[in-house]
Amino acid sequence: MLKTNICGVEFQNPLMLAAGIMGSNASSMNWILKSGAGGVVSKSFSLNPHPGYVNPTTVAVDGGIINAIGLSNPGVLNFKEELKKIERKNNVVIASIYGANPDEFSKLVLEVQDYVDMIELNISCPHAMEGYGASIGQSCDLSHTIVSAAKDASDVPIIAKLTPNVTDIVEIAKTCEDAGADCLSLINTLGPGMKINIDVAKPVLSNKFGGMSGKAIKPIAVRNVYSVYEEVDIPLIGVGGIYTFEDVVEFIYAGARAVQIGTAIMDEGVEVFSEINKGLENFMKQKGFSSIDEMVGIAHD
């Protein structure tokens, strides 16, 4: 009943781990999969190891958290070893990659595509170093170049992950579709935002600002999915502030075929996956739905 299909890849249920939360090694991704997620997205990684920012890199605020981890990762060669160790049983594994230019994205695709079902392009991190992340996803030209390069290199479906920090997300979504993206995930963190420690009169985060995630961003994420669904034909994955099955239903009604969950795991633990699946199945039975397919986009006129 909970199965969903995206670009020919079958998910046992529509829930997956969002990039950057517990996705840095095989053992934590295996744990998430055993806890009921239909799929996992890895932490974003690059060609070479990258240290990221010094602590503090996250801070809790009303309605969520602000993070500026700075895309720390051990580089593709180390990450590949983790991807190989993921226990593959009816689950979907997605690698999240980032780079500074088309060549880096193509090389990353070629390195990892044999070990994953799909590849997500992080062109949307709001606290990445200049030239990476949202500085790509805020430009139609750069988004087009990067998505085309990744698509040309890839044998597996390509997901472009979008930033909400743009004037018109629909324009970027259409550009990514034109460039060959098979799917879009939205949204990455909002902002950037800032929290100031009033005792020392300084920003809390070492990077000063970071991306906002958690409950407060959900209405913005749902609206983005809704608007993009009206204008593109490729499947959408909803992300942002999902804690309950009701949240998932909102995203599916807005047009998502699956969702990703990040911050809720920090607050509620890995049990969030089985609890949402249980609630979603009960809801579907009560409302007379026999598949996720029947629910996708029904909030539209």
Ligand X SMILES: Cc1cc2nc3c(=O)[nH]c(=O)nc-3n(C[C@H](O)[C@H](O)[C@H](O)COP(=O)(O)O)c2cc1C
Which residues would be at the binding site for ligand X (CB under 6 A)? 18-21, 43-44, 58, 65, 67, 69, 71, 96, 122, 125, 161, 188-189, 213-214, 217, 239-242, 261-264
Q: Cβ of residue 58: shortest distance to ligand X, in angstroms? A: 6
* Dihedral of alpha carbons 246, 161, 89, 34, sign: negative
Looking at 7, 125, 140, 176, which residue is catalytic?
125
Smallest distance, ligand X to C-beta of residue 260, A: 6
Of 27 and 291, CB closest to ligand X: 27
Q: How far apart are CA 259 and CA 186, in angstroms?
A: 9
Min dist. Cβ of residue 264 to ligand X (A): 6
Residues 6+ apart with CB under 8 A from 204: 56, 59, 195, 196, 197
Question: For residue 205, what are the contacts with CB-CB under 8 A and spacing of at least 6?
Answer: 53, 56, 57, 58, 59, 66, 67, 68, 194, 195
Residue nearest to ligand X (CB): 20
**Least separation in angstroms between CB 293 and ligand X:** 23
Q: Which is nearer to ligand X, 153 or 222 (by Cβ)?
A: 222
- Closest CB 125 distance from ligand X, rounded Å: 6
When the beta carbons of 13 and 189 are compared against ligand X, the nearer one is 189
> Minimum distance from CB of 180 to ligand X (Å)?
19
The yes-or-no answer on residue 125 being catalytic is yes
Nearer to ligand X, 60 or 299 (CB): 60
Do the beta carbons of residue 163 and residue 134 sit within 8 Å? Answer: yes
Collapsing DSSP to helix, strand or coil, 119 comes out as strand
The rounded distance, in Å, linking the Cα atoms of 300 and 94 is: 29
Name which of 58 and 244 has its Cβ closer to ligand X.
Answer: 58
Of the two residues 65 and 289, which places its CB atom closer to ligand X in the complex?
65
CA-to-CA distance for 67 and 228, rounded, in angstroms? 26
Question: Is residue 270 helix, strand or coil?
Answer: coil
3-state secondary structure 13-42: CCEEECCCCCCCCHHHHHHHHHCCCCEEEC
Tokens of 74: 């051990």
Maximum pairwise Cα distance, the chain: 56
Catalytic residues: 125
